């Protein structure tokens, strides 16, 4: 009887949940609007109260489908997004939770997702997240980046199907959730390698199960169009929301000088904003009109919605953007020349269409002819010789590997030798679940501060890493250039790399491969060697 009551309760809870954001995003006749809130640090501050005030006003306007809440924005600590979103849900408004991979490991992400699902919050925006800022308690926090958004999407998919796991030796399947997960992309990058790295990663996100996309901040119509065209040509039928950020002059200067990672504002746009800022209203009317025009452009072009954001914007401003944007959407083509902000030498995937100012369906030339470094040539050769299952060297070494694996002393010697060699060549950190092969032999554990194993984060700038601008090239830019020299750059989108298996930490990755334990061996179907009779017993 008790069990029945509990089951009924669960059924009732499941039945109660109608997701109006999901319905709006997926409905082709609705132009979905979300409004981004940026909560601050502390529990009892004005910024948090403003969020709730905005939620109430958004409900009054009745044209906003969800309130989205950022997760420790800019890598700074802030009140928890999941707590705010659960409160927003109680107020009757649909929340969209930003989930940054920066501060949580996979267990924490899973806990958070189940907590959200249990409180009726189902809309998730999976992000890599900006690198932690130095503003944490007693200094810069430890960056986590245990999972990337591709794997968060995979986790959500598994949870939606009913996550299976082992408890007390038995397989258990959890009740399915109804999470609705989206991802971000930036088509606004400057270099060919950066743009393509974004698209290859987006392919993985979509194939993992992402249900919608929100763009990064940018103001180039041709780039907005490029993303839709890339999706169409790849037959990805997925709704995209354009990021309509209300841009004041002060923020534009920060974005232009790469002090807000991933947001692209060109010199030309900054100059225009500088002029507008001389007006009596300090450019307020002009920036609202620009936002309404971007809204109109997105709607006309075929975007599924607008993600409206900006510091200190009010419900009146949001309402203006929607109303004016709807009015202008009919003649959206006329607005294209007003969003002509190419970057110097910026790469576009398609040729420009002189008639529309947007793109033709012809792919543009990709002139870069990178020359791969010696270490890459050597690594390819070593890989083919030692780590191809079909090679005679592999076949010969496999029994040796089995013997080494059984002998603690021999294992320690191999671990030492491997570590020496790979530290010298690749700055190896000994993760034991080697991803060198996945990133053209650039180690994502030591060379990418966010340990991105599936593609670039959104923060690279002119090819440089978000965290080390003008110092280190993004590992995915390096990987693209290396592969392109062999005509293999497309392989960057070929398969999804799982998160690092920390059970293998500080063990020999060579042995893990030969013994079928690491992710590459599993992907290639290299099985652990059969155990002999005595060992089995």
Q: Please give the residue ranges that form the binding site for ligand SF4 (CB under 6 A).
A: 448-450, 452, 456-457, 459-460, 465-467, 474-476
For residue 454, the minimal CB distance to ligand SF4 (Å) is 10
Helix, strand or coil for residue 215?
Answer: strand
Cα angle 124-158-106, degrees, rounded to a multiple of 5: 65
Give the span between the Cα atoms of 130 and 458, in whole angstroms.
8
Measured in residues, the chain has a length of: 537
Which residue in this structure is represented by tokens 């989930």? 99
* Angle of helix 81-90 versus helix 46-61 axis, rounded to 10: 40
Question: Nearer to ligand SF4 by C-beta: 84 or 467?
Answer: 467
Give the span between the Cα atoms of 288 and 321, in whole angstroms.
7
For residue 370, the minimal CB distance to ligand SF4 (Å) is 17
For every residue of 222-290, DSSP letters joined together read HHHHHHHHHHHHTT----EEEEEE---HHHHHHHHTTSSTT----HHHHHHHHHHTTSTTTTHHHHHHH
Question: Nearer to ligand SF4 by C-beta: 24 or 448?
Answer: 448
Question: Nearer to ligand SF4 by C-beta: 290 or 473?
Answer: 473
Give the span between the Cα atoms of 24 and 36, in whole angstroms.
17
Give the span between the Cα atoms of 411 and 405, in whole angstroms.
6
Contacts 24+ apart (CB under 8 A), 46-51: 48/79, 48/84, 51/84, 51/88
Question: Nearer to ligand SF4 by C-beta: 317 or 456?
Answer: 456
Helix, strand or coil for residue 377?
Answer: helix
Question: Nearer to ligand SF4 by C-beta: 291 or 478?
Answer: 478
Helix, strand or coil for residue 479?
Answer: helix
Reported as type and span, the H/E element at residue 408 is helix 408-426
For residue 348, the minimal CB distance to ligand SF4 (Å) is 21
For residue 464, the minimal CB distance to ligand SF4 (Å) is 7
For residue 214, the minimal CB distance to ligand SF4 (Å) is 18
For residue 478, the minimal CB distance to ligand SF4 (Å) is 9
Question: Nearer to ligand SF4 by C-beta: 257 or 362?
Answer: 257
For residue 197, the minimal CB distance to ligand SF4 (Å) is 8
Question: Nearer to ligand SF4 by C-beta: 323 or 491?
Answer: 491
Give the span between the Cα atoms of 228 and 234, in whole angstroms.
10
Question: Nearer to ligand SF4 by C-beta: 465 or 492?
Answer: 465
Written as six digits, the tokens of 321 are 């953007």
Report which of 477, 485, 472, 482 is spatially closest to residue 455, judged by C-alpha positions: 477
For residue 249, the minimal CB distance to ligand SF4 (Å) is 27
Which residue in this structure is represented by tokens 């082709």? 28
Give phi and psi for 121, each to the nearest 5: -95, 120
Reported as type and span, the H/E element at residue 297 is helix 284-301
Question: Nearer to ligand SF4 by C-beta: 132 or 248?
Answer: 132
Question: Nearer to ligand SF4 by C-beta: 308 or 448?
Answer: 448
For residue 357, the minimal CB distance to ligand SF4 (Å) is 30
Q: Dihedral sign, CA of 523, 185, 86, 139?
A: positive
For residue 420, the minimal CB distance to ligand SF4 (Å) is 25
Question: Nearer to ligand SF4 by C-beta: 272 or 466?
Answer: 466
For residue 467, the minimal CB distance to ligand SF4 (Å) is 5
The burial of 425, by beta-carbon neighbours within 10 Å (0-12 exposed, 13-18 middle, 19 or more buried), is given as middle
């Amino acid at each position: 009887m008790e069990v029945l009551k509990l089951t009924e309760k669960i059924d009732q809870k499941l039945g109660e949940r109608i997701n109006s954001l999901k319905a709006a995003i997926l409905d082709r006749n609705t132009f979905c609007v979300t409004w981004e809130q940026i909560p601050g640090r502390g529990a009892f501050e004005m910024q948090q109260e403003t969020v709730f005030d905005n939620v109430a006003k958004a409900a009054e306007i009745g044209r906003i489908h969800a309130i989205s809440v950022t997760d420790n924005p800019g890598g700074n600590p802030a009140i928890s997004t999941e707590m705010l979103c659960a409160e927003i849900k109680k107020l009757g408004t649909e929340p969209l939770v930003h989930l940054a991979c920066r501060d949580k490991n996979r267990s924490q992400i899973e806990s958070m997702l189940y907590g959200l699902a249990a409180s009726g919050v189902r809309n998730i925006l999976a992000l890599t997240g900006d690198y932690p800022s130095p503003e944490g308690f007693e200094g810069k926090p430890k960056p986590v980046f245990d999972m990337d958004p591709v794997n968060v999407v995979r986790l959500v998919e598994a949870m939606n199907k009913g996550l299976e796991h082992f408890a007390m030796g038995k397989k258990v399947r959890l009740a399915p959730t109804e999470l609705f997960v989206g991802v971000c992309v930036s088509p606004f990058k400057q270099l060919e390698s950066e743009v393509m790295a974004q698209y290859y990663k987006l392919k993985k996100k979509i194939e993992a199960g992402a249900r919608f996309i929100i763009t990064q901040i940018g103001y180039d119509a041709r780039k907005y169009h490029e993303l839709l065209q890339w999706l169409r040509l790849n037959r990805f039928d997925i709704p995209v929301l354009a990021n309509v950020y209300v841009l004041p002059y002060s923020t534009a200067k920060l974005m232009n000088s790469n002090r807000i990672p991933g947001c692209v504002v060109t010199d030309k746009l900054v100059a225009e904003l500088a002029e507008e800022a001389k007006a009596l209203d300090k450019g307020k009317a002009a920036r609202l009109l620009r936002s309404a025009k971007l809204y109109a452009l997105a709607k006309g072009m075929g975007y599924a919605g607008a993600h409206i954001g900006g510091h200190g914007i009010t419900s009146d401003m949001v309402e203006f953007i929607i109303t004016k944007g709807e009015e202008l959407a009919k003649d959206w083509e006329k607005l294209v020349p007003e969003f002509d902000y190419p970057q110097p030498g910026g790469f576009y995937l398609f040729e420009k269409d002189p008639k529309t100012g947007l793109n033709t369906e012809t792919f543009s030339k990709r002139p870069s002819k990178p020359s791969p470094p010696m270490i890459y040539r050597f690594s390819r050769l070593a890989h083919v010789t030692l780590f191809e299952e079909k090679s005679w060297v592999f076949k010969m070494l496999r029994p040796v590997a089995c013997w080494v694996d059984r002998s603690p002393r021999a294992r320690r010697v191999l671990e030492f030798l491997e570590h020496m060699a790979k530290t010298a060549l690749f700055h190896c950190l000994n993760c034991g679940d080697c991803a060198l092969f996945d990133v053209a032999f650039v180690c994502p554990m030591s060379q990418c501060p966010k340990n991105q194993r599936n593609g670039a984060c959104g923060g690279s700038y002119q090819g440089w890493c978000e965290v080390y601008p003008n110092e280190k090239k993004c590992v995915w830019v390096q990987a693209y250039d290396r592969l392109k020299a062999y005509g293999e750059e497309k392989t960057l989108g070929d398969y999804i790399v799982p998160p690092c298996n920390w059970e293998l930490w500080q063990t020999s990755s060579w042995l893990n491969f030969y013994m079928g334990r690491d992710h590459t061996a599993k992907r290639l179907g290299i099985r652990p060697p059969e155990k002999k009779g005595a060992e089995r017993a």
